[in-house]
Amino acid sequence: MTLTLYHIPDWASSIIRLAMEEIGQPYTLRPMDWDAGDFDTPAFRAVNPLGLIPAMETPDGPIFETAAILLWLNARHGGLAPGPQDPDRAAFLSWLLFVSNTLHPTVMALIHPDRPAGEDAAAEAGRIALEKVTEQAAHLETLIATKAPRWLTPAQPALGHYIGILLRWAIYLPEDPDLRFSLAPFPALRAVLAAHEATPAARRVAEADELGPHPYTAPEAP
- State residue 27's pLDDT score: 96
Q: What is the mean pLDDT of residues 172-201?
A: 97
- Which class is 4-77 in CATH? alpha beta
CATH code for residues 89-199? 1.20.1050
- State residue 1's pLDDT score: 66
Mean pLDDT rounded to a whole number for the chain: 96
Distance between CA atoms of residues 175 and 63, nearest Å = 33
* DSSP secondary structure of 159-210: HHHHHHHHHHHHHH--SSGGG---STT-HHHHHHHHHHHTSHHHHHHHHHTT
Q: What is the mean pLDDT of residues 108-129?
A: 89
**E runs forming strands in the chain:** 4-7, 28-31, 55-58, 61-64
- State residue 115's pLDDT score: 84
Helix or strand (DSSP H, E) at 108 = helix 104-111
Inter-CA distances, 222 with 10, 112, 173, 209, Å: 8, 18, 11, 7
**Structural Rg of the chain based on CA atoms:** 17
- State residue 2's pLDDT score: 85
- State residue 221's pLDDT score: 83
Distance between CA atoms of residues 60 and 35, nearest Å = 30
Distance between CA atoms of residues 178 and 155, nearest Å = 35
The domain locations on the chain are 4-77, 89-199
Q: How, if at all, do strands 4-7 and 28-31 pair?
A: parallel
**Per-residue pLDDT tens over the stretch 21-68:** 999 999 999 999 999 999 999 999 999 999 999 999 999 999 999 999
The lowest-confidence range among 30-39, 113-122, 135-144, 196-205 is 113-122
